[in-house]
Amino acid sequence: MRTFKLEQSKTEIITPHGGLALVGHSVNRMTSLAKTSRTIVKRHGIANIDLIRTYLGLICLGKSDFEAVEHARHDPFFKAAMGIKQSPSSARLRQRFDEDARALIPLLDEASVEFLCKASVPVGTLATGHAPLDIDVFPMDNSNTKKEGVAYTYKGHDGYAPIAAYLGTEGWCLGCELRPGNQHANKAFIHTLDRVLPRVRQLTDAPLLVRLDSAHDAAENRAYFRTHGVDYLIKWNPRSQDGLAWVDKAHAAGALWCHTRPGKMETLLSERLDGTDDHLIVKVTVRHSDSTGQLFLEPEVSLEGWTTSLKPDAADHAKVIALYQDHATSEQFHSEFKTDLDLERLPSGKFDTNDLVMAFAVLGYNLLRWMGQRVLLGPDAPVRHPAKRRRLKTVMQELMYMACRLVSSGRRLYLRFGQHCPGFRAFGCIYESI
């Protein structure tokens, strides 16, 4: 086997992150951040837009720590691709974010929705014709730190518990608000809805179905949805319900029991909710033995239910349950934030700064999601297994981590890719469409 002699060029500018050209081009053409960032007045120092472009570029490469900017600030391609005039140091970037976090967050939230609108992203619907809006809390492990807001989460570790909202079957993120780890999911939930629902209406006119877990099973939430004309599907919280009483209710109603195995039977019940046309669907399961045939001294009764505004003629009980089971897809979106974007452990000790980092992550998430849906599912995409949606990690591997050479000639800049670059056609398709 032949060995290689290693050399480092002093003249050629070669980058392993050619996809940054897509990120910079998209942000500069399809958002108003260059204009809105000037509303945060600074008498001197680096422009706000340069700070935004710098950190957004890092996020889209899966780098969330501020120290990563030290490599980027001396990279001519990084600056050219993102349109950066003056690069900050890691210390300066951290300091400015600490100072202006509360002012920058709404600008990034607006830019994220603006990007989705200008990109005319498709919003996939369910079999019922509804566009799903999945809202959920997920824990982020920040154990063994003294960061502001870190507290004991429901997963048994110290960290944060942000609440995220995803629209459509594609999972477009409309917000990911950072919360202390010990904050209950339903606390200030109405405020979250007030922020998210107007963003939904900017993207789709389809009827909306909000899917929530049992932490949001509250009469206040159901009344809010009815007032705003939004359909909902919420996991029921049995709390202190008597299982045997529900068994008696099923027998009295003449419910049809299904014997799924010897020693186990189940049935579905439905009743009106809150004196309205909304329904509570309850699945009653009775076990007289375990799966191995071991008999119980007393039957075990378990309850599982869903509250919904869907009418019986629009979806029967089994379809309603299937619609809620699809809500579990949002767990994949959570994992993309934590693993693909490297945001499990947030980089700052200040709560507001970490909240700003999550706002950057939402914009970066939507950018990468759009790229994946735009060019990685068609015939020009690099060879991959068929899918309805590409993970952010796949987008980063196929588009962001593309090696190319930056060439300056005739007062123009060129990106020169290898002859056998598998993602070149997809890259060119998306770049020319912006």
Q: pLDDT tens digits for 24-35?
A: 999 999 999 999
Report, as an integer, the average pLDDT of 326-335. 94
Q: Is the pLDDT of residue 295 over 70?
A: yes
In angstroms, rounded to a whole number, what is the distance separating the alpha carbons of residues 334 and 329? 9
In angstroms, rounded to a whole number, what is the distance separating the alpha carbons of residues 148 and 215? 24
**Contacts of 120 by beta carbon, 8 Å cutoff, 6+ apart:** none
In a domain, 343, yes or no: no
Q: What long-range pairs does 246-253 form, CB within 8 A, spacing at least 24?
A: 246/282, 246/284, 246/301, 246/303, 247/284, 247/286, 247/301, 250/284
In a domain, 276, yes or no: yes
In a domain, 8, yes or no: no
Instruction: Determine the pLDDT at residue 102.
Output: 96
pLDDT > 70: percent of the chain:
99
Instruction: Determine the pLDDT at residue 315.
Output: 53
Q: pLDDT tens digits for 252-271?
A: 988 889 999 999 999 999 88
Q: pLDDT tens digits for 39-56?
A: 998 878 899 999 999 999
For residues 356 and 108, is the Cβ–Cβ distance under 8 A?
yes
Based on the fold, state whether residues 149 and 265 are members of the same structural domain.
Answer: yes
Residue type, 371: M
Averaged pLDDT score across all residues of the chain: 92
Q: Is the pLDDT of residue 7 over 80?
A: no
In a domain, 124, yes or no: no
Based on the fold, state whether residues 368 and 256 are members of the same structural domain.
Answer: no
In a domain, 255, yes or no: yes
Based on the fold, state whether residues 387 and 355 are members of the same structural domain.
Answer: yes
Would the pTM count as exceeding 0.85? yes
In angstroms, rounded to a whole number, what is the distance separating the alpha carbons of residues 302 and 322? 19
The residue assigned the tokens 């014997």 is: 259
- Label residue 245 by pLDDT band (50, 70, 90): very high
Task: Write down which residue in 291, 312, 338 finishes a domain.
Answer: 338
Q: Is the pLDDT of residue 318 over 90?
A: no
395: nearest Cα among 319, 336, 323: 336
Based on the fold, state whether residues 157 and 305 are members of the same structural domain.
Answer: yes
Q: pLDDT tens digits for 135-145?
A: 999 999 999 99
Based on the fold, state whether residues 148 and 206 are members of the same structural domain.
Answer: yes
Q: What is the DSSP letter of 11?
A: S
Instruction: Determine the pLDDT at residue 203.
Output: 96
Based on the fold, state whether residues 75 and 211 are members of the same structural domain.
Answer: no
Instruction: Determine the pLDDT at residue 409.
Output: 85
In a domain, 287, yes or no: yes
Based on the fold, state whether residues 241 and 190 are members of the same structural domain.
Answer: yes
- Label residue 6 by pLDDT band (50, 70, 90): confident
In a domain, 156, yes or no: yes
Provide the number of structural domains found in the chain.
Answer: 2
Name the residue with higher pLDDT: 386 or 289: 289
Lowest pLDDT segment from 84-98, 164-178, 269-283 = 269-283
3-state DSSP call for residue 429? helix
Instruction: Determine the pLDDT at residue 323.
Output: 93
Report, as an integer, the average pLDDT of 241-258. 91
Q: What is the DSSP letter of 339?
A: I
60: nearest Cα among 337, 397, 341, 334: 341
Report, as an integer, the average pLDDT of 350-376. 96
Task: Write down which residue in 288, 317, 338 finishes a domain.
Answer: 338
| Domain boundaries, position 235 | 131-338
CATH number at 236 reads 3.90.350.10
Based on the fold, state whether residues 86 and 171 are members of the same structural domain.
Answer: no
Based on the fold, state whether residues 210 and 332 are members of the same structural domain.
Answer: yes
Based on the fold, state whether residues 223 and 277 are members of the same structural domain.
Answer: yes
Q: Is the pLDDT of residue 314 over 70?
A: no
Based on the fold, state whether residues 200 and 108 are members of the same structural domain.
Answer: no
In a domain, 34, yes or no: yes
Task: Write out the E strands in 180-294.
Answer: 208-212, 231-235, 258-261, 264-272, 279-289
In angstroms, rounded to a whole number, what is the distance separating the alpha carbons of residues 85 and 73? 10
52: nearest Cα among 62, 38, 41: 38
In angstroms, rounded to a whole number, what is the distance separating the alpha carbons of residues 69 and 238? 50
Based on the fold, state whether residues 166 and 37 are members of the same structural domain.
Answer: no
Task: Write down which residue in 286, 305, 338 finishes a domain.
Answer: 338
